[in-house]
Structure 1
């Protein structure tokens, strides 16, 4: 069995307490969501990916991703690119903007990233990987971490070699997604390669891929020997997953799902945080996808979910969205009480 109690690992001078980490997700793991997940027990929350081309950082999207004011924990900023000097300059700029940790993306399978020879496309060129890691570590006054996949495709799994390159370059932590670049998000994640990486490096390793429950988190930790698990899609509309994993690993007991009243209260706080962060007009638009995820995971039927989305999506004002949330959950609270 994986040892009970709180796990502690380090990223440079930072002690990370916990075993569940929020994955960087473009358009999702923004500051409001990162802050929410930390309050629900996420040991670390990595920012959305930003390009290494700093001349493009004046866009609203990049400015929001780089904003450090209001962050309620360690700020780990992820960068992506393929040119060592440019990546080094981006890392320095991230530190100047308030980053405590710089994370390098060599795991994204998106075509618009890989077509620029960045993200997981870099795994094909181990020499370039080494040059980028060396340049970023040398340029950074903060710890540098790295996220990769198991390899380019199923016939070319080189995660263990990349891990040794990363360790020699001075990388402080490695996250491994249990799929190759060619697999994208298809099929099931495999964890044997992650286990091999854990064995062959002294770095703390985070296991990523298909972790959607406390039981799955424990299984992956036991199978891989990783220091922690990284969770992405399963947290959408369900930030409680972090505290559920922490409780299960500590006690072996499965926590109850949050009551609808708690879901409503958390959603209202999340919506207000989005309005404050993005401004009302943009916040209202961003809120729609998060609302849909909460509804999908917490309302009793798909018919109720569809009806809620039809009512929510046309709304243009924050007060209209907040009022509808209160109304919807008041309607469904009696159903929950009867079921209990």
Structure 2
């Protein structure tokens, strides 16, 4: 069993990464249903929370069926981070996570996210400000360093542990790599071998199959794995990995019916949370992901992008199911 403060997780938990414009409640609900052990909100600007920005406040929505769930915040000002942690505490998540890893320019330019990787002292001060302002467990997600010449994750891990954080997730790339190149998990392995490190260390980067998850679990000895992009349009990956760990065998791939059910659930929960029009408009980014690799889906993609009501969605799902049932009979 892995513990983060008073949160109990399975022996080797699988975490859903916080992803901007992806990890909202409907998507998290699907991932939870398919085996995710711990999930996080999209990252939330500390300045936005303090200004009471509607978009930032909306990201605080969490639901009991998601638990355990953490809310992730980012920022470069100690007072703002402390205040936002207190705001986060009012919605009663299971933990607060700090983002020191986002490589996107608009975040980095504000001295937040991966921008803090250049200044470990500031990273420590920001973390202390959050830890002191909340009774919730505080965790951190970060990267190896700014670039290949300034990898500082060893010092970061020790110093952040001293601030009182309860777990650390390491995306095994530098900021300069963004999401390109291969993630280098050797650094995670070295952190785990450090006798001074007592908190759980979770690895992130490049896990996109059950085989790779098992290989990295055995090779790098981290305490759990965080999965991000591989779960987009494929929430089944969590249970597939768990099944492979237990049995060494693969679960059958999701069928067309499974994929259509996931789309239907995702769309209904999106509408429930955002309203019908906005919920379905914001679903558009997901359709192609759910049907990645499925032959002839191009013919249906345009139709899905033109759906504006749940009634239209239900009709299109029935039409799609009918087509693929017939198609499979012909193959």
TM interval, short-chain normalised: over 0.9
- Closer/same/farther in 2, CA of residues 336 and 249 from structure 1, 3 Å limit: farther
TM-score normalised by structure 1 residue count: 0.92
Aligned to 1:274: 270
- The whole-number CA distance in structure 2 between the counterparts of 1:9 and 1:70 is 21
* Matching of residue 290 in structure 1 with residue 286 in structure 2: yes
Displacement of 1:99 in angstroms is 1.7
- Mapping of residues 36-51 of structure 1, within 5 Å: 36-51=30-45
- The whole-number CA distance in structure 2 between the counterparts of 1:248 and 1:336 is 27
- The whole-number CA distance in structure 1 between the counterparts of 2:63 and 2:28 is 13
Displacement of 1:87 in angstroms is 0.6
* Matching of residue 188 in structure 1 with residue 182 in structure 2: yes
Which SS does the other structure have where 1:168 is aligned?
helix
Aligned to 2:5: 12
- The whole-number CA distance in structure 2 between the counterparts of 1:56 and 1:213 is 41
Conserved 8 A contact 1:66-1:94: yes
* Matching of residue 318 in structure 1 with residue 331 in structure 2: no
TM-score normalised by structure 2 residue count: 0.95
Conserved 8 A contact 2:70-2:95: yes
* Matching of residue 179 in structure 1 with residue 173 in structure 2: yes
Displacement of 1:157 in angstroms is 0.6
Displacement of 1:286 in angstroms is 1.0
Which SS does the other structure have where 2:127 is aligned?
helix
Which SS does the other structure have where 2:222 is aligned?
coil
Conserved 8 A contact 2:145-2:152: yes
Report the aligned-residue RMSD.
Answer: 1.5
Cα distance per residue 1:157-214 (max 9 Å; x no partner):
1011100011100010000001000110111111111111222221101100011001
Aligned to 2:212: 216
Cα distance per residue 1:212-262 (max 9 Å; x no partner):
001111111122211111111111111000000011112211111122222
2:301 to 296, 309, 317: 309
- Closer/same/farther in 2, CA of residues 74 and 150 from structure 1, 3 Å limit: same
Which SS does the other structure have where 2:169 is aligned?
strand
Displacement of 1:83 in angstroms is 1.0
- The whole-number CA distance in structure 1 between the counterparts of 2:101 and 2:275 is 31
Aligned to 1:26: 20
Aligned to 2:234: 238
Which SS does the other structure have where 2:59 is aligned?
helix
Aligned to 2:62: 68
Conserved 8 A contact 1:75-1:98: no
Displacement of 1:63 in angstroms is 2.8
- The whole-number CA distance in structure 1 between the counterparts of 2:223 and 2:174 is 21
Gaps of 5+ in 1: 1-7
- The whole-number CA distance in structure 2 between the counterparts of 1:57 and 1:16 is 33
- The whole-number CA distance in structure 1 between the counterparts of 2:297 and 2:148 is 38
Gaps of 5+ in 2: none
